[in-house]
Amino acid sequence: MKRRGAGLAGAMIILCAWAAWGAPLDEIRRILRDRALHPPGEPVLSALQETTLKRDLKDIDPYARYIPARDYRSPAWGSDVRVGIGAELMERDGNVLLSVYSGGAAYKAGIPDRSRLLAVDGQPVKSGDIQVVADLLRGKEGEPVRLRTLTPEGRKRTFQVSRVSFRAPAVETIEVKGGPVIRIRQFQSGLTRSALRATMEFLLQRRPPGPGTGPKPFVLDLRDATGGDLYEALDTASMFLAPATLLGTMVDRDGNRRKFVSPAGEKKTMPLVLIIGPDTASAAEIFAGALQQNNRAVLVGEQSYGKCSSQTDVHLSDGSVLRFTNSEVLLPDGSSCSGQGLAPDHEIPGTAFLSLPELVSRACAALGN
């Protein structure tokens, strides 16, 4: 549903040229006039131009985008196979950090998650260089790249990583002291819920609870979950909530409300801890908010991003796509997280927030486990 402006930026993301030549402007005007959550006035619509379409759309709706047909990829198609180091770049306090995919090339080379990137093939990484770094990391399959890093423990280490093709999984598991952590980065339509269910069942089989002890909480890391499919997020939340529990409410431009409740079916009852942070956004916030407000999960970490709106993709007559905000999503208590984010039940800021073992340890301590 969104990517944070200066925050998480894919090392393997495809750069869009944003060439809006030939964009069907009249069609775009009509759609925004008739369907946008906050329809712009006629003078604004009339001023839309091909040459400045990207900026014009952003002025109307920060999440609106025009996507030429050749660049469009439906969110329902899942993630692409991409050649790279199997990590994403994120900027934090002026540093470029690696968010390492479990099972990817960087992971196999032994690079710890959240390592700070100091140099790529001898070129020093400077603050604000995230796009330059992303370009440096791109390359052909099999080509090695040398990464100078500062690990979360403060050790400088150099790794040689061969770029390989890799598809980001919907759900990853990360082994840390204290048990496995499940990481979700995107709510992918038709993929995340089923993968999460399979993962939990797999982990439960491997680690059945000991006699006389309560079930250990499952820790879900949503720090890098920047959004995805709203319905998938609601479906996933419903795995943990009793039938007929309110998950959220969608409100359109005319004030029409559509409530979503948890359907009947098998429910997972183990305690849940969700790690959230400033990059946790959109569908991930709605998922976390539904579980927090129904007292089904404890949230730890830092304040989330604050985007509880939903976008839709409309195919235009030339095959291109207009993405725009069409509704606001309210949490079970009727509030919206837009602009303020979710507050964690236990705040764990600073360097501890970057260290998964530390987060898990402090979260478990807070819960008395």
What is the closest distance, in whole angstroms, from the C-beta atom of residue 264 to other proteins in the complex?
Answer: 16
Q: Within the chain, where are the H helices?
A: 25-35, 42-46, 53-60, 105-109, 130-137, 192-206, 230-238, 283-293, 351-354, 356-367
What is the closest distance, in whole angstroms, from the C-beta atom of residue 169 to other proteins in the complex?
Answer: 7
86 binds other proteins (CB under 8 A): no
Centre a 10 Å sphere on the Cβ of residue 215 and count the other Cβ atoms it contains. 12
299 binds other proteins (CB under 8 A): no
Residue 185, classed as helix, strand or coil, is: coil
Q: In the set 26, 201, 318, 333, which binds other proteins (CB under 8 A)?
A: 201
Query: Quick check: 291 and 237 in contact, CB under 8 A?
Result: yes
77 binds other proteins (CB under 8 A): yes
Q: Rg of the Cα trace of the chain?
A: 21
Centre a 10 Å sphere on the Cβ of residue 157 and count the other Cβ atoms it contains. 15
330 binds other proteins (CB under 8 A): no
For 107, 215, 278, 301, 358, the CA distances from 343, given in Å and listed in that order, are 31, 26, 10, 9, 19
What is the closest distance, in whole angstroms, from the C-beta atom of residue 196 to other proteins in the complex?
Answer: 9
Using CB under 8 A as the binding rule, the residues of this chain from 91 to 110 that contact other proteins are 103, 108
Q: In the set 169, 248, 278, 301, which binds other proteins (CB under 8 A)?
A: 169
Contact residues for 132 (Cβ-Cβ < 8 A; gap 6+): none
Burial class (CB in 10 A: 0-12, 13-18, 19+), 192: buried
What is the closest distance, in whole angstroms, from the C-beta atom of residue 193 to other proteins in the complex?
Answer: 8
Using CB under 8 A as the binding rule, the residues of this chain from 136 to 165 that contact other proteins are 165
| Separation of CA 288 from chain center | 12
Interface with other proteins by CB under 8 A: which range of 149-157, 183-191, 273-281, 293-301? 183-191
What is the closest distance, in whole angstroms, from the C-beta atom of residue 208 to other proteins in the complex?
Answer: 15
35 binds other proteins (CB under 8 A): no
195 binds other proteins (CB under 8 A): yes
Interface with other proteins by CB under 8 A: which range of 50-58, 70-78, 260-268, 277-285? 70-78
Interface with other proteins by CB under 8 A: which range of 32-40, 121-129, 134-142, 194-202? 194-202
DSSP 95-164: EEEEEEPTTSHHHHHTPPTTEEEEEETTEEP-TT-HHHHHHHH---TT-EEEEEEE-TTS-EEEEEEE-E
What is the closest distance, in whole angstroms, from the C-beta atom of residue 186 to other proteins in the complex?
Answer: 13
76 binds other proteins (CB under 8 A): yes
Interface with other proteins by CB under 8 A: which range of 17-25, 115-123, 199-207, 220-228? 199-207
124 binds other proteins (CB under 8 A): no
Query: How many residues touch other proteins (CB under 8 A)?
Result: 27
Query: Quick check: 285 and 308 in contact, CB under 8 A?
Result: yes
In this complex, which beta carbon is closest to other proteins, that of residue 201 or of residue 333?
201
Interface with other proteins by CB under 8 A: which range of 73-81, 134-142, 331-339, 347-355? 73-81
State the amino acid at position 284 in one-letter form: A
87 binds other proteins (CB under 8 A): no
Q: How far apart are CA 303 and CA 270, in angstroms?
A: 24
Please provide the size of the chain in residues.
Answer: 369
- Residues lying near other proteins in the complex (CB under 8 A) are found at 74, 76-79, 81, 103, 108, 165-167, 169-171, 173, 189-191, 193-195, 197-199, 201-202, 206
